[in-house]
Structures are given as structure tokens and as C-alpha cells.
Amino acid sequence: MTEIAWIHAAITAARPQAIGALLRYFRDLETAEEAFQDACLRALKSWPQNGPPRDPTAWLILVGRNAALDGVRKTRRLEALPDEAALSDLDDVETPLAERLDGSHYRDDVLRLLFICCHPDLPATQQVALALRIVSGLSVRQIARAFLVSEAAMEQRITRAKARIAAADVAFETPGPVERSERLAAVIAMIYLVFNEGYSAGDNGARSQLCDEAIRLVRLLLRLFQTEPEVMGLAALMLLQHARTPARLDEQGQAILLDDQDRSLWNRKMIAEGLALIDKAMRHQRAGAYQIQAALAATHARAQTPADTDWAQIDHLYAALERLQPSPVVTLNRAVAVGKLHGPAEALALIEPLAERLAGYFHFFGAKGAFLLQLGRRDEAQAAFDRAISLAANAPDAAHIRQHLDKLMRDSAPPDRRTAG
């Protein structure tokens, strides 16, 4: 790795902690960000000459803080601090200073920074943009491309978000246990939002980069909160979902259903890490929605072929999710497992009570049509598929249902053969 590449990697890695610490001093996001940028510029000048410091994060915090204070002093015509050239080779000075600067605050600094990005005053789109800009350090151009908006529009979105943060009441004291766990829950939700922005984008390169960013953020969170099973669950969930990315789309960019994916394309490294993390989380026996969803993804990941899927486990996990977060969509998902385990009649009985609440839901009619078709109730199946197509939000969804319909049209076999499916 070249020196410059190493410096960039070190700066990227140091970013959340350094900006978090600078935010604690200056209590202002704009100042903290500028101080960090300043420190990075000085690092690019100083490190190749003087060699990298032992603790790059502490160096960046210290130099950033001094640069910002220096700016304040200059405007107030006060005495300037010694410059960074004098600082950078004082290895002995660096360590105790860094300890005084940081110490036990490290964890709460990073959590505060992440929490500010998902402040309840911010709409979801601004939360994600702000986190990517401030914590991940993506450029406005990169974020704009990921969201398919102009750079100017994204610049404006981030500026607005920062203005709202500046106006909002942000607590800088060390949080108590209740507040810390509330912050953690908000941050977990924001990170999953970043991930889903990328995941739903399909083959758009700039957007799917968001999945990697979200995984990087959750690893950061997991290092800070090593014993939180829901953080492990979220990390596992994202790794297991992202592992399927190489197999999710066909050459036309259309979604391939889980059953039809080429499982040899799944990323084994991510699956290994995801399985290790969900194993770890489950030992705590403190169920949470992310853990259950990760366990569902893990059950699919463990199956070598679709036929090997442990449907009893899937049924069990969806039932657990139903208890934790009752929702007709979760019940609908459970019905698929029930259908595989006990047949289409039982699955249909499970989803029929949902008809009213899911009257506008594409997947409800897709699943209903499939169960009816398996039962040989062709006319009703066709009606359900027609309804599904009218509700399809995108071309691949509609195309998938059309395949069922085409099969229905072609199929002129007697009912006993038609029910075999």
C-alpha cells in the first residue's frame, strides 16, 4: 500500500472518533468538521515528511483542535499556538495529551456524533445524508449520485440538516444509561436506513456503496457496544443480506427471487461473519427485531439449495417476530413458511383474515394467487394475480406475476396435475 493510500485509510478510520471529540470541545458541528478538515490537510503535508504518528486519531484531534483555536485566537488577535510541525514529532507529548483529550469519552463521542445525525428533528432523508457526509466522510457529489439528485440539491439538503442541528437542543453531558440506550436505538435505525437506501438501489454502483458504508458504521458501533445483541443482530442482518448482492439481479437488472438465485455467487466471507455474529447475539437470549431478521437471513444462508431450507425454523422465527412486532406483513411472510410446511390450504387460512389490512399490498395478492393456484382454484388465482399486477410498484414485480399468469393460460392439464405445483 502506498503511503498516500495508507494516510487516506488512516484518516477515514479516524474520522468518526476525531470529529466526535472535536464536536465535544466546540459544541458546533460546522467548527468540528472544519477543524478535522484542517487537521487532514496538515496530516497530508506532515506525515509523509515526519512519518506517521503512533496514534493518528489522537494526532488529528489535537492538531484539529489547535487549528480551530488558532483561528479563534487570530480573529481575537491573541497569541498563536506552536504550529503542527513542532507538534508532529513530539511523540512523547502526543500520548499523554491524547489521553487527557479523550480517555473514557471516546465511546460517547462517537455515539453522540451518530445520534446528532439521526436527531428526531431531521427527516429520514436528511439523517442519512448527514451521516454519510459527517461520519462516513463521503463527498457531497458521491452522496448526490447515490440519491440520484443534483449536487446542488444535496448540498442544500445537508446545509438544511446542519442548520436544524445547530438550532436543536443537543445534550453534551455524558448520557445516562436510559438516554444512551435510546440513542443507540435511534442510531441502529439510522444505520439500517443507510443500508436499505443502498440495498433497494439494485445495481446502481454509487448507491450500493451505501451498503458498505452502513456495514462500516455498524462495525464501528459494535466495537463501542460489544455486548449489545441488537447491534450484533443488525450487523449480522446487513452482512447476510449484502452477501446475496452478487446473485440478486439478472443481466437486465431485474430482481431474482431467493429460490432462483445462484447460491454459489453468495459472498462466503460476509456469510461467515454474519453467522458468527448472530450466533453470538443469540447467546444473550434477549430477542430483538434485528436479531430475528438476521436469524431468518441466516436460515436461508445456511441452506445449500432452496430445498434444504429449514422452513420450520423460518415459521418459528416469523412467529417470534409477530409476537415482538405484530404486523400483517410479518404474518404474510410466515404464511409462506406455513405453506411449505403444511400446504397451501393452511397458508391461505392464515392470510385470509389479513385481506382488509393488506387490500393495497402487492405481495398479499401475489402470495394469495400462488396458494390458490397450488390448490387448483384457477379462476380465483387469476383474479388475485390480476390484482397484484395492478398494484405492482415496478416492472420486475409485475413481470414475476405475469409469469404465473402465462403459466395459467398455457396450462390446460387436468386439475390433478395442475395442483401438483
Partner 1 sequence: MKERWRMLYTLLCYNSEDVVFSWSQEEDDAVMARLSVVHERLHREGKLGPSLRLLPTTAATTLRKSDPPLIIDGPFAETKEQLLGFYVVDCESLDEALEIARELGRANPGGSYEVRPVRLFVPGASMADRPTA
| Contact with partner 1 (CB under 8 A) among 73, 105, 263, 280 | 280
Using rule CB under 8 A, residue 294 touches partner 1: no
Distances (CA, A) of 96 to 59, 90, 371: 11, 11, 68
Residue showing cell 448482492: 245
Q: Please return the burial class of 126, using the count of CB atoms within 10 Å of its CB with bins 0-12, 13-18 and 19+.
A: buried
Count residues binding partner 1 (CB under 8 A): 24
Closer to partner 1 at the Cβ: 27 or 283? 283
**Residue 22, number of CB atoms within 10 A of its CB:** 28
Instruction: Please choose, out of 24-32, 277-285, 290-298, 379-387, the segment that lies near partner 1 by the rule CB under 8 A.
Output: 277-285
The CB-of-302 to partner 1 minimum distance in angstroms stands at 10
Using rule CB under 8 A, residue 269 touches partner 1: yes
CB 177 within 8 A of CB 157: no
The CB-of-398 to partner 1 minimum distance in angstroms stands at 34
Beta bridge partners of 249: 255
C-alpha closest to that of 404 among 383, 354, 414? 383
> In the stretch 364-383, what mask flags binding to partner 1 with x, by CB under 8 A?
--------------------
| Contact with partner 1 (CB under 8 A) among 62, 101, 277, 298 | 277
Half-sphere exposure of 62 (CA within 13 A, CB side): 26
Distance in angstroms (rounded) separating the CA atoms of residues 248 and 194 = 19
C-alpha closest to that of 115 among 195, 39, 24? 24
Closer to partner 1 at the Cβ: 105 or 160? 105
Closer to partner 1 at the Cβ: 10 or 43? 10
Using rule CB under 8 A, residue 273 touches partner 1: yes
Phi, psi of 326 (to 5 degrees): -55, 130
Instruction: Please choose, out of 37-45, 183-191, 266-274, 286-294, the segment that lies near partner 1 by the rule CB under 8 A.
Output: 266-274
For the segment 182-241, give every residue that binds partner 1 (CB under 8 A).
Answer: 216, 219, 222-223, 226-227, 232, 235
Using rule CB under 8 A, residue 304 touches partner 1: no
> SS3 of 242, please?
helix
Using rule CB under 8 A, residue 272 touches partner 1: yes
For the segment 316-335, give every residue that binds partner 1 (CB under 8 A).
Answer: none
The CB-of-212 to partner 1 minimum distance in angstroms stands at 8
Distance in angstroms (rounded) separating the CA atoms of residues 353 and 274 = 35
The CB-of-285 to partner 1 minimum distance in angstroms stands at 12
> In the stretch 2-21, what mask flags binding to partner 1 with x, by CB under 8 A?
---xx--xx-xxx-------
> In the stretch 45-84, what mask flags binding to partner 1 with x, by CB under 8 A?
----------------------------------------
CB 236 within 8 A of CB 133: no
Distance in angstroms (rounded) separating the CA atoms of residues 237 and 274 = 7
CB 286 within 8 A of CB 229: yes
Distance in angstroms (rounded) separating the CA atoms of residues 51 and 60 = 14
What residue ranges bind partner 1 (CB under 8 A)?
1, 5-6, 9-10, 12-14, 216, 219, 222-223, 226-227, 232, 235, 269, 272-273, 276-277, 279-280, 283
